[in-house]
Structure 1
Amino acid sequence: MGTVRRAFFMATLDQYCQIVISVVLIAVLSRLLDSTAIGVAAIGLSIGTIAFTVREFATSEFLIQREQLQPVDVRTGTTLVFGLSTIIAVGLSVLSPFIASFYSLPSLQAFICLVAVSGVIDGLVSPHTALLRREIEFGSLTRINVAGAVANAIVALVAAWQGYGFMSLAIAVIAASAVRAVLTLHAKPEIWMFRPSLVGSRSIFGFGGYKGASSVLDRVYESLPQLVLGRIMLPSAVGIFNRANLVCGLPDKLMLSAAFSVAFPAFAAEVRAKRAIKETYLRMVSYISVLFWPSSLMLAILADPIVNIVLGHGWLPVVPILRILCCATIFSFANILTYPVLVAFGANRDAFTANFVGRGVSTVVICFASFHGLVALALSQFISLPFQMYISFRYIRRRVPFEWKGLLAVLARSGVITLMAIAGPLMIVALSGFDFGLSLAESVLCILLAAAGWMTGIIVFRHPLLDELPAILERMFGRWIRKPSAAA
């Protein structure tokens, strides 16, 4: 448990650092680039993301799940991932003129070519990253990811300042990939991994078949709104939705991504040790829900001042879209654990089927809503996300036989604590005549009241997270606590 706690702390620290960097980048870049430039970049990055997700058919996560890992498995995984990355990059470069013509954006061609180069660099060290995750070396991974995020932010801002427009983001992606590659090779200098091998390719593709299809579906689901909007509306609409989605995703990055980084290796280790994971699963659900729900709803309440501070006054059309997305996204908390739990049991087919059913139906809903404008697109999340949550729980129960009553008890406690957290801020809004355009002082007061209400709920209802607070404080402040004690 101590190793998992430390890993979760490091993964959370990683996310905290990246979220701070992301907020700074979003805030400054939104003032240097207009919604049209942001929209064009969002289209290009979405296309690159979908394309390079195809290499998940030879996923490096095979190296994490494999019970007995042999050197030849590592070499074959490296060969396949890098080979697929190169093929995808060449394909993107060849198709880039046609993609640019489809969107009537000639400059999109060069953007896609640069994204293709970054994908090859990432593919070079993807297996090394997988081995670090298998060994739960989240300290090294945190340093690598934070350095990459810093490089991305600095290069993007300097390039935008110098007038490179939306191309700034493509240049920054290459810089970030290069920094991550250098640091990964420094942390895991296993040069022998690059010796070509195809031994055991069938096993890797067998493992990655469902994973690859599921990942492609995920990326299509996430990118489809921007790609459809880019075709039927102006790039500025894509930029507005992109900014709303990015700000809405900050609690996701802070809470859920950290949980996912640790969940797969942790669950895989539990399954390899043949231990029951029902209690572990319900405990992680309780952690995620009690952290994620208040954060998302507070973001919805403070949408006006947050958009003004983070994006600037020129992005006010983002506010109603952001508020809708934040309220709907509370249903997404369960989905983050579906893949790591099922794949830890080797149930790749179930993981794919659950994703295909949940995301497949949602993709149809989102695609239909996209033709009716930004508000309809945001409201469609109230259909797709609850449906995905239900599918997630149904498939996980096949491997983790928890009772619905037990799950509801966990969620009810988190729900009550969430209500206690937002009660104070909602009172401030009510006293101001339900005007959500709060001042800076009112916003700070809302945050303080939310923190007080949340902490009171955690203590009164004895939420399991309370047991983790001493370990978290020891991690964060133990060095300063131990030094005076040692001196005494």
Structure 2
Amino acid sequence: MAGDIQVREQRDGLAMSSVRRSILFSAVDRYGSLVLFLVVTAVLSRLLSPTEFGVYAVVNAVTAVIGASFQEFGGGNYLIQKRDLSPADIRSAFTISLGISVAIALLLFVLAGALSDLFAQDGLKKGIEVSALNFFLAPFSGTISALLRRDMKFGTLAICNFAAGVAVAVVSIGLAIAGFSYMAPVWGALAGSVVLTLTLLASHRDFDALRPSLLKYREIVSFGLYASGVSVINVFYNLAPQLFLARILDFMSVGLYSRAINLTQTFDKLVTQVLNPVIMPAIVARRQAGDDLKAVYLEAIELLSAAHWPFLIFVAIMARPIIAIWLGETWLEVVSLVRLLCIANMALFAACLSYPMLVAVGSVRDALVSSFISLPPSLLVIFGASFFGVQAVAASAVLTLPFQAAVAIYFIGRHLGFRPTDIIRALMKSVVVTAVTALGTSGCAALTEAGIVTPLAGLASGLCAAALCWSLGLLLTGHPLLHQLHLAAASLARAAPKLRPSRSAL
């Protein structure tokens, strides 16, 4: 018995070590991409107007919505969640993905003119046609990325994604300086897709997995029906405000709203997108190991909320100096939008867990059902708000996002067997940590708003105060996140000697 317990503990320790290592490589990947994103956005915000950004945002939204309609057929999530993955599974998934992606690209070429007329913007046609070229590359990069994620090879992914990010940055900025207007980031995105596909193919080199086959098409289509339904309704919901604003108001409103969304979603780029590639494989592995997914979920939301909430509160309080420094004084209209969206997004502390959890318990159908319950009413609210301006659209999120979160948690609770009181208990310490962080940040914001200190000095002091108060809140509450940070620091300390070159190598 003691031997079994020891073996189990060793297994769990190795599993957690693998997850932490994967998160570390994923963090390197995402933070490198985030730095490039911040630099590119800061430069382009000074080269392009809000209206030009608005046109680019609509091009992005149209292609993303149409692409999401079918791309989850044979997509990455099928390959990751499959318990026993055979070569036939991979080939069939790739073949279906390739066929659908080519069809989407051709559909976009056909619809480009009509969509341009719908939004009364001639430039949309060329932008959509260029963006459609990305779909010819997506099956290759998507399949190889999914296989690397399944095998937890996040180091290789980080190198490939960083190379693609550099290509996006160089091409977008170069073309914007050359006067390509909103087409600069469109061409930049295509350049990034080309570089990503080439680097992934060079790193994988198992081209046998990309041979055409439809041997396992039934299972893939069955999974894809639900997965694509979840994908399209969520993507459309996320991009609907920009489409509504473009159709009802103007492209300047779209530009302002898209910049506000970008800042509000910085936490996603800092944390959630670091965890996203790891969450699905990790949860599936925990399920296969026989772990209690209820405990896993409650522990995860406790950790996520302690980082998510304080970050959003900090961004909401310090929005003015952040916008002034990052985007420039001409974008200060975005400040009020950012504050509303930050408050609304606090409801989504567990959003990144919802789909992986439902897939892990074998209920991808419930992911679709919950989306159909929560998102259509939310879209109606946003549509109505768009007639009253961009401020009203941002304010509507304060109603819609908590409703969506409640529906998702309800469906997960049905499978995992937790009650609302379990959720409240798991979040109590994070509430205290968030309040302490807000208290420390508010003083620095007040000094900045009064003009006593410059935006740069105010932001720097706010960051220091927020970090200090956040750490104090973790200590006062004995938050589990503190223990996880200690473990991560210890892992980095152990890894550091291995990263240094040996004397013999020198």
Please state which band the TM-score falls in when normalised by the shorter chain: over 0.9
Give the secondary structure class of the aligned counterpart of 1:55: coil
C-alpha distance in structure 1 between counterparts of 2:164 and 2:87, whole Å:
28
Residues 372 and 57 (structure 1 numbering): CA distance in 2 closer, same or farther, change over 3 Å? farther
Give yes or no for contact 1:304–1:436 (8 Å, CA) kept in 2. Answer: no
Counterpart of 1:247, as a letter, is L
1:264 counterpart residue number: 280
Give yes or no for contact 1:144–1:184 (8 Å, CA) kept in 2. Answer: yes
User: Is 2:276 the partner of 1:280?
Assistant: no
C-alpha distance in structure 2 between counterparts of 1:384 and 1:29, whole Å:
31
2:439 to 423, 427, 450: 423
Measure how far apart 1:20 and its partner are.
1.5
Q: How far does the alpha carbon of each residue in 1:166-211 deviate from its partner, in whole angstroms, 9 at most, with x for none?
A: 1111111111101111121122222112221111211101011111
User: Is 2:84 the partner of 1:68?
Assistant: yes
Measure how far apart 1:475 and its partner are.
4.3
2:347 counterpart residue number: 331
Give the secondary structure class of the aligned counterpart of 1:274: coil
Counterpart of 2:31, as a letter, is Y
1:49 counterpart residue number: 64
2:309 counterpart residue number: 293
* Equivalent residue runs for 1:335-354 within 5 Å: 335-354=351-370
C-alpha distance in structure 2 between counterparts of 1:33 and 1:433, whole Å:
27
C-alpha distance in structure 2 between counterparts of 1:418 and 1:436, whole Å:
26
TM-score by length of 1: 0.95
1:221 counterpart residue number: 237
C-alpha distance in structure 1 between counterparts of 2:445 and 2:67, whole Å:
45
Residues 438 and 407 (structure 1 numbering): CA distance in 2 closer, same or farther, change over 3 Å? farther
Measure how far apart 1:431 and its partner are.
6.0
C-alpha distance in structure 1 between counterparts of 2:489 and 2:498, whole Å:
12
2:224 counterpart residue number: 208
* Equivalent residue runs for 1:148-187 within 5 Å: 148-187=164-203
User: Is 2:481 the partner of 1:458?
Assistant: no
Give yes or no for contact 1:39–1:240 (8 Å, CA) kept in 2. Answer: yes
* Equivalent residue runs for 1:234-273 within 5 Å: 234-273=250-289
Deviates more, 1:254-263 or 1:234-243: 254-263
C-alpha distance in structure 1 between counterparts of 2:385 and 2:212, whole Å:
47
1:382 to 389, 398, 418: 398
User: Is 2:28 the partner of 1:28?
Assistant: no
* Equivalent residue runs for 1:91-102 within 5 Å: 91-102=107-118
Give the secondary structure class of the aligned counterpart of 2:76: coil
1:129 counterpart residue number: 145
Counterpart of 1:159, as a letter, is L
C-alpha distance in structure 2 between counterparts of 1:92 and 1:439, whole Å:
44
Give the secondary structure class of the aligned counterpart of 1:56: coil
Measure how far apart 1:84 and its partner are.
0.5
Residues 223 and 133 (structure 1 numbering): CA distance in 2 closer, same or farther, change over 3 Å? same
C-alpha distance in structure 2 between counterparts of 1:87 and 1:303, whole Å:
42
Measure how far apart 1:273 and its partner are.
2.6
Q: How far does the alpha carbon of each residue in 1:347-371 deviate from its partner, in whole angstroms, 9 at most, with x for none?
A: 1111111122222221221122112
C-alpha distance in structure 2 between counterparts of 1:222 and 1:44, whole Å:
14
2:215 to 176, 187, 199: 199
1:304 counterpart residue number: 320
Give yes or no for contact 1:39–1:235 (8 Å, CA) kept in 2. Answer: yes
C-alpha distance in structure 2 between counterparts of 1:27 and 1:204, whole Å:
42
Give yes or no for contact 1:89–1:119 (8 Å, CA) kept in 2. Answer: yes
How many residue pairs get aligned? The number is: 486
2:53 to 32, 38, 49: 38
C-alpha distance in structure 1 between counterparts of 2:87 and 2:295, whole Å:
35
Measure how far apart 1:268 and its partner are.
1.1
Residues 86 and 286 (structure 1 numbering): CA distance in 2 closer, same or farther, change over 3 Å? same
1:3 counterpart residue number: 18
C-alpha distance in structure 2 between counterparts of 1:436 and 1:303, whole Å:
17
Give yes or no for contact 2:94–2:140 (8 Å, CA) kept in 1. Answer: yes
Counterpart of 1:149, as a letter, is G
Residues 338 and 173 (structure 1 numbering): CA distance in 2 closer, same or farther, change over 3 Å? same
C-alpha distance in structure 2 between counterparts of 1:440 and 1:433, whole Å:
12
Give yes or no for contact 2:448–2:455 (8 Å, CA) kept in 1. Answer: no
Give yes or no for contact 1:134–1:265 (8 Å, CA) kept in 2. Answer: yes
Where does the alignment leave 5 or more consecutive residues of structure 2 unmatched? Answer: 1-15
C-alpha distance in structure 2 between counterparts of 1:147 and 1:419, whole Å:
40
Give yes or no for contact 2:94–2:143 (8 Å, CA) kept in 1. Answer: yes
Residues 97 and 482 (structure 1 numbering): CA distance in 2 closer, same or farther, change over 3 Å? closer
1:13 to 28, 52, 60: 28
Q: How far does the alpha carbon of each residue in 1:372-396 deviate from its partner, in whole angstroms, 9 at most, with x for none?
A: 1111100000111110111121111
Give yes or no for contact 1:256–1:333 (8 Å, CA) kept in 2. Answer: no
Q: How far does the alpha carbon of each residue in 1:249-284 deviate from its partner, in whole angstroms, 9 at most, with x for none?
A: 111221222222211111111222332222221121
Where does the alignment leave 5 or more consecutive residues of structure 1 unmatched? Answer: none
Measure how far apart 1:439 and its partner are.
3.0
C-alpha distance in structure 2 between counterparts of 1:440 and 1:225, whole Å:
32
Q: How far does the alpha carbon of each residue in 1:215-241 deviate from its partner, in whole angstroms, 9 at most, with x for none?
A: 000111011111111112221111111
Give yes or no for contact 1:302–1:436 (8 Å, CA) kept in 2. Answer: no
C-alpha distance in structure 1 between counterparts of 2:76 and 2:97, whole Å:
7
Measure how far apart 1:466 and its partner are.
1.5
Give the secondary structure class of the aligned counterpart of 2:414: coil
Give the secondary structure class of the aligned counterpart of 2:72: helix
Residues 482 and 123 (structure 1 numbering): CA distance in 2 closer, same or farther, change over 3 Å? closer
Measure how far apart 1:430 and its partner are.
4.7
Give the secondary structure class of the aligned counterpart of 2:358: helix
TM-score by length of 2: 0.92
C-alpha distance in structure 1 between counterparts of 2:446 and 2:328, whole Å:
25
C-alpha distance in structure 1 between counterparts of 2:205 and 2:54, whole Å:
39
State the identity as a percent.
Answer: 33
C-alpha distance in structure 2 between counterparts of 1:48 and 1:226, whole Å:
13
C-alpha distance in structure 2 between counterparts of 1:435 and 1:345, whole Å:
54
Measure how far apart 1:479 and its partner are.
4.8
Residues 363 and 472 (structure 1 numbering): CA distance in 2 closer, same or farther, change over 3 Å? same
